[in-house]
Structure 1
Amino acid sequence: MAGGAIGAGLRALLLLPVAGGGRTEVVAVTLVENVVGSLMLGIVVAILGDRRPRLRAFAGTGVLGGFTTYSTFAVQTAQLTVPPAVDAAATAVLLAVASLLLGLLAALGGLAIGRRITGARPGSDAPREAE
């Protein structure tokens, strides 16, 4: 719970400078937060793997889960498709595709960075199947 509070607090701090701005600025910050969070989560997962599960839960699920925000991304994207912004539907699709692709690329990059830091081989951080 503390990790989530820390992550949500960091996200709120990043939104403060654009809080009075237009929707474009807020959506851009949300996109950046989600991409950076995906990168950082990839690093955490690669470095910790199955070791130190409590730290991984705190940093990954807690801090980075609180920092990133799928629900805000989903609502912001949906708002671009309803009146009066219905003409922005193409922007909504572009935002959704960009968020997913950039998030995936950032996560892959984070995994690669984490493996490089630890000297681990690819796949060594993959979750093990339940026994």
Structure 2
Amino acid sequence: MVGIVIVSHSSKIAEGVKEVALQMAKNHPVYTAGGTADGGIGTDPVRIQEAIEAANTGDGVVVLADLGSAVMSVGLAKEMIDPALAKSVKLANAPLVEGAIAATVEASMGSPLAKVLQTAHDARNMDKVE
């Protein structure tokens, strides 16, 4: 089962996105790394590393991040984990909310890593107006 990690500068945003995603896919492994260790706004590569390791079930992990420096922190976190695991950790080029929900639902259906990642990527094209 592909794990999902939600990275945000705000712990409230990360937890809120997780809450919505789990409304759609109730018992799926979704982990968050929001904010800094002291509760501030920002990202912490160590917290991201821990979330990735917790989300790993052996089938890969899809990570979704909110802003540019979160993307850099994900990169640092990947450098800190076991290289074998790092190969199966994919950062989705997707909007945080839509991508996380789509990826979580796809992963909950038992889809492989590549399909979960593609589903997250496809959320970029979701039309919101007619």
Q: Do the structures match in fold with TM over 0.5?
A: no
Higher helix share: 1
The one of the two structures with greater contact order (alpha-carbon pairs below 8 A, sep at least 6) is: 1
Higher strand share: 2
* Bin for the TM-score computed over the shorter chain: 0.3 to 0.5
Q: What TM-score results when the alignment is normalised by the length of structure 2?
A: 0.34
